[in-house]
Structure 1
Amino acid sequence: MQPFLILLVAALGWLAILLTACGVGFLLVAALAFRRFFAAARPAPVRGEAVTLLKPLYGAEPRLFDNLATFLAQSHDAPLQLVLGVQRADDPAIAVIADLKAAHPHAQIDLVIDATSHGASGKLSNLINMDRVACHPIVILSDSDIAVAPDYVAQVLAALDAPGVGAVTCLYRGRGDAGFWSLMAAAGVSYQFLPGATFGVAKQLATPCMGSTIALRRETLDAIGGFARFADVLADDYAIGESVRALGLTVAVPPMLVTHACDEASFPALWRHELRWAATVRDLTFWPYVGSIVGLPLPVAVLAALYWPAAGLALALAAIFARWVVVRTIDAAVGTRVASFGIALLHDFAAFAVYIASFFVRSVDWRGATLTMKQDGRIAAVTEH
């Protein structure tokens, strides 16, 4: 048995060294791909199509008013309807909406308060209830924690106009709104998720559809079965994208960024959020998710150092340099520092722990509900807490 253990340790050590070397190369290539992808950004003309913006809400996030206000500050020459939905009459978001209406008296802001459930996903139930008041032929759905630039609608509509495009989604960067742990989350979004996702899109290795933005025409939404079709799906955004592609259409990803406002105020909140996301991706694309470990070369280099200290240390320094290149590239594109470099490195180790734990998870927490993940990508509500 002892020779077998020696061979096993040696194999794992060399695997860690190989993965670290590949990871360093990947981070550097991803940073370059990110720079080239967003270099293609172009101004979009002001548009004249009527648009409905759907924003399902749950509670009052730290900068909810500011985030929602960005959707009313659009360069747009046609009717713009903002539909906001909650499922409880005592939801704290209602007070924020009242302030928003007072600050924008001429904007069309419709509030839907409806507790009707249509499936295990509270978000989709909310959307189904909201959709009945949507009155324009173009629908743009985005999560409550998204903030956008004034040319957002114009850019999205320009991408939606391209031949063969059935929907538009957007890449996003993080912004910490609730202290240290939210900055950790923002570092993960900006310095880990964003370069990898951009690389996948740029190299046509990934076909994302994300809750940061899903824009589509009413006839396309009807053709995929409306929101009701996804009422029991955990990754509803991904499923909507797959349904659009099943029609023979594409999901466009224009070279623009929106902002994801991170509000994790504690480590448990950060852990639950990232574990839910990781387990969801694991079930959607298992083998690519297994391979995503190359995006975390620093913690793997530390493991390699346990087998070969000199090589592990050298690779760890290379991994730190590669992450620094990514951080500098992203911050330059965003125009501000998302998080400190130390937080970025710390998040690498937290993300590695999440990666390992995600292979053992069959239920996730989603805004107070525990959801059991089924084999077909669907979910079942277990309990409220």
Structure 2
Amino acid sequence: MQIIELVLLILCLAAILFYCYGIYAAIAFFPHPHPIASQFHPAISILKPVCGLDRDAEVNLASFCQQDYPEYQIIFAVRDRHDPVIALIEKMIQQFSDVDMQLVVSDRIIGANLKVSNLANAVTAAKHEILLIADSDIRVGKDYLQRVIQPLQDESVGVVTCLYRSLAQGWVTTLEAVGTATDFHAGVLVNNQLSGIKFAFGSTIVIRQQALKAIGGFGAIANYLADDFQLGYLPAQAGYKVILSDYIVDHVLDTSTLADAIQRQIRWARCIRVSQPWGYLGLLFTYGTVTSLLLLIASGASKLSWIILVITWGMRLLMGWFVGVKILHDPVAKKFLWLIPFRDLISFGIWCQGFIGSTIEWRGQQLKLLKDGQIKAEV
């Protein structure tokens, strides 16, 4: 028992250090916004892969049509000719007639990831060197393009990506949003502070066409589940810089059942495990909420274990407040900060489950997740 208690104590101390560094990383990053050069506004092609109608779909998509930016085009890509989103896109093309917009409908498939096939179909209509990819459930302000493009003033930058704040509906997605704002983004900021990020998020990926060609185009990621991760990782391996923008977009979450949410979280966990195996294992050192509770139980509720638990939970809540509320201004984190310990317990269970199995369910398909992060249909 003494050995177990010692191990748990070390894990608690490691978590406390992580929480402290997470606060520092957030402080170090956000007070230094990328300088905005009013004369730097290269033309941009926005690729929008869409499938079905997301929550608030019209508002989300319209936000990209209202940019205070001189020259950009939007290319919507849909696979199914009977998709209900097509009527909405056609309406928007009429409504925003001053914006260069078009719809590409094609069922051409280049790999197991159908979203990447959509992107490959869309890029054929792109007019400009700089591409911007954003998921259909993302909502932005009018200064979005002008802000996220700024890091490309440095010619060595190949990719720019963004953090996001969640707009949740229902208690299940609220729990997800709390974890994203107070834990996931804290980890990203720590990673960015330590070594710079070498991955990207589907919330926003600005990528030069030359960087995309250098990695083999969309065909190179057509069989990967985490296509957004690869669109940052592969250019970084090719020698391009990946920059985290200081612009924060809104992620509009659909309502979800608990079973669907857990399945989705397990899928992401397994995907991270195969994409970054050592990083995934290292998450153990961040679960101070759980390890301090286990220490309390293992020690028979000793005085020291109570002190460690209070300090650990206090620092966890402080990091969550600082990153989620103070920095990201996440409305869900602000309202439901008290859910962090409960969310951490669930997250730890999902983390453990992520080590087991390699079969995932995605968009109604049963897929096999391979060791390098690629996917193939189950026979």
Change (3 A) 1:15 1:84: same
Match 1:238 to one of 222, 229, 233: 229
**What are the equivalent positions in structure 2 for 1:120-269 lying under 5 Å apart?**
120-176=112-168, 178-204=169-195, 206-269=197-260
Secondary structure at the aligned position of 1:253 is classed as strand
| Letter of the 1:66 counterpart | V
State the match for 2:82 in structure 1: 90
State the match for 1:6 in structure 2: none
State the match for 2:53 in structure 1: 60
State the match for 2:326 in structure 1: 332
Contact 1:53 1:82 in 2 (8 A): yes
State the match for 1:5 in structure 2: none
State the match for 2:271 in structure 1: 280
Partner deviation per Cα, 1:153-177 (whole Å, 9 max, x = no partner)? 122221112141122122223331x
Change (3 A) 1:305 1:42: same
Runs of 5+ unmatched residues, structure 2: none
Partner deviation per Cα, 1:222-257 (whole Å, 9 max, x = no partner)? 232211121111222222323312332211223232
Deviation at 1:360, TM superposition (A): 0.2
State the match for 1:3 in structure 2: none
Secondary structure at the aligned position of 1:153 is classed as helix
Secondary structure at the aligned position of 2:132 is classed as strand
**What are the equivalent positions in structure 2 for 1:20-59 lying under 5 Å apart?**
20-42=12-34, 44-46=36-38, 47-59=40-52
Counting aligned pairs with the same residue, the percent is 27
Which deviates more from structure 2 when the two are superposed, residues 10-19 or residues 193-202? 10-19
TM-score (normalised: structure 2) = 0.91
Change (3 A) 1:295 1:205: farther
- CA distance in structure 1 between the aligned counterparts of 2:312 and 2:376, rounded to whole angstroms: 40
Secondary structure at the aligned position of 1:62 is classed as coil
Partner deviation per Cα, 1:280-305 (whole Å, 9 max, x = no partner)? 11111111211112222112221112
Match 2:261 to one of 270, 273, 276: 270
| Letter of the 2:167 counterpart | R
Which deviates more from structure 2 when the two are superposed, residues 357-366 or residues 256-265? 256-265
Deviation at 1:43, TM superposition (A): 5.4
Deviation at 1:276, TM superposition (A): 1.5
- CA distance in structure 2 between the aligned counterparts of 1:315 and 1:222, rounded to whole angstroms: 51
Change (3 A) 1:376 1:48: closer
Runs of 5+ unmatched residues, structure 1: 1-8
State the match for 1:352 in structure 2: 348
Contact 1:264 1:270 in 2 (8 A): no
- CA distance in structure 2 between the aligned counterparts of 1:216 and 1:206, rounded to whole angstroms: 15
Contact 1:119 1:231 in 2 (8 A): yes
Secondary structure at the aligned position of 2:309 is classed as helix
CA RMSD of aligned residues (A): 2.0
1:18 aligns with 2:10: yes
Match 1:343 to one of 323, 339, 342: 339
Deviation at 1:144, TM superposition (A): 1.9
TM-score (normalised: structure 1) = 0.90
| Letter of the 1:199 counterpart | V
Deviation at 1:218, TM superposition (A): 2.0
Change (3 A) 1:122 1:312: farther
